[in-house]
Structure 1
């Protein structure tokens, strides 16, 4: 099924290909490369992983250790606070700052003065981090209804997402809107029930709302140890372990046995989790109906299969502000959200009545990329791209298929909010980060080309 329905205002995208300026004679083009030498529109399709070839490419393993995700929510659900903790625990930043800039600094992802003053996200912001040897590209999106278009543009280029919900407010109006956008682009997602430390927190009420208001086939994968001011930690229903968070910023995760007074509710909720997943996963259903003992590994694999098929939404819990549960959520991102080669991308060839053609996603083909965001800042105009095929290097010549004009790539930039680093080529990142050649690359460095513009399609 197409991520972009035929006839909708978001169904056609502007892409470009490039011819690298080399002194050596080019090798014979692949069938995909030959096809892409003409202009075409691109659509983005999502399905389960492609079958692995007998001989896998050298970059395949690195792609499997990559996640491209977005974090979305209703306003004031704690989305930017969650992103701040993610950056801290993954080592991208070394101090935690809160929204609204009470300490004169503000959250890292709030780069605009107005964002720091009002404590809301106005424009989407991208970053990247590393967790357990996995690379995670993150887009933090606005929660206010007035900036919904920022969420729309971000979700088009994501492989997975986290839907943040307030444990007090529950599923709110913008939560429904964001979830609808995720469905439109067929983005697998996790739900994170935040603010369990607040008075009136009720995660089970919110879980039921995800089923009734969002029509999620969902179940909790965790049980909180205490609520409100007594919230101490979490019990993982898959691994059957308890986790507590110590240290001044919750950086020390301590594993323990499940508290004896919680044995009954843990057993009840784990059985509920197995039942819900069994309804959409035949392999787990066979084991469940046969009264077989279901191991943690088997349950985790079933949750992953159901999540990638968009038949199930795992529900995580925690309190980003109190530094509890964020590390376990990151583990969930690695375990349950897709890597890029579990999403297939296709081009529609204009010269052949929009015939669907699979993109190879290798560095050998011409560049195929979508410009999904433009930003005018103190560094000049920056263009955010998602690359579907090929490589970008400083000095390459690209073609805007909308205008037919050639554009030279003047700069390649590594960018993290207010910090910017100019590099000569993406090739310098091949040694530790081979995935930069993959067509599924969200974009590792947030912004890449200065003085280069591909116009996004009209949004209605």
Structure 2
């Protein structure tokens, strides 16, 4: 995908600058658009490009047409003949190339100064694909796993995806993208991911703060539904008679946690209700009650994420809360592959129990970040005993490793077992499975994994040395540096445990001139000294 500039900014900087950003040049129509400050962005004036900007505009327009000529023979012929290129042809080529992921139109504007909003919305309508321009959506049959395709056609069976949940006074508002078919108010839909049916009492068309109730929607619409009980972000909704499960939205695992509690016990119930609502709104946020301490633990994508959550509790819901120091959400995995046999040969409540279960535990990272439990095809055990063992192995995997942190990237395979005619029971195999899991975990060796964050720091050149030295002290690995205008951009990976308070540090080192972004990247082995502190 190649970027193609279709606009140029006129001016640069806030209103108090000598040459403030006040408009833009449309390279397609070759007009200057200037916004009227008194109208707060509602009105702009189209005029001829001033002579002092004409040469630069023609240079950028030539580059735009050269790039677009790669995707249109008609445009190429006009350029070679030095003939004028119609605006309609340029827009048609941009649209076609954009739909085929060949180019990305680049526009400019400022939401703060309300400049460039109207041309941006016009570009969305002109260049981005409509539902009929994209391939049919693919999903799976919930029962057979067979691939199903649905066209963006009102005559197809209904299917849609919940992509956002917003809390409302009278119930959650679910935002749904309708991929195929029609949906009427008052109908029932099926959520195949949760195997639940939902009522759709009302349909709302959302236009910023305005809402309009509509009786029916069809393929291509984005609508709001109030009153669904079970559906959350990433869930599929479909016709109960024609089920389809769309590809779910993949959300990263939380990397940081901290304890939170209300300042008075009377607000404990309200806090629990608000946190549950926030979990439905934001799938990257989790809240649970600690079994050891009884405290409420909230988890998120980073220090700033939890700060925003805490601020919302106070500002939006009037809750006075106390928060404790953030804690890194470590994970565990295993070092090597082992095969062990778990045994149960004991007297329980006057009854002799016998069971043996052989398993293999191995590192496994083929796109799966949790514990996978499976059965070797050659295993010949009664179904009830095997299911009891599999259930325990899955529970143990979810329960955590040697250090108490959740396990990830581990596969457990049941290889076989032994039974006794009278002494083997489901309980015996549950005990044997627990023994096998504990043995395997001890022999496989523990590896502590720490969350790594992807950093991008943008700093003036004169502060580059201080920023780099500080990152190295935080065990960061600098992967790339490059220039962006007059600034230097540093790309790095660093352990989250060493990045607490980094916002204040980077401001101090750069006299407030550097900025940074941070997002979860992956998990990596923690150094020996960190592991030793847990042993």
TM class, shorter-length: 0.3 to 0.5
More strand by share: 2
TM-score for both structures, normalised by structure 1: 0.45
Question: Greater Rg, structure 1 or structure 2?
Answer: 2
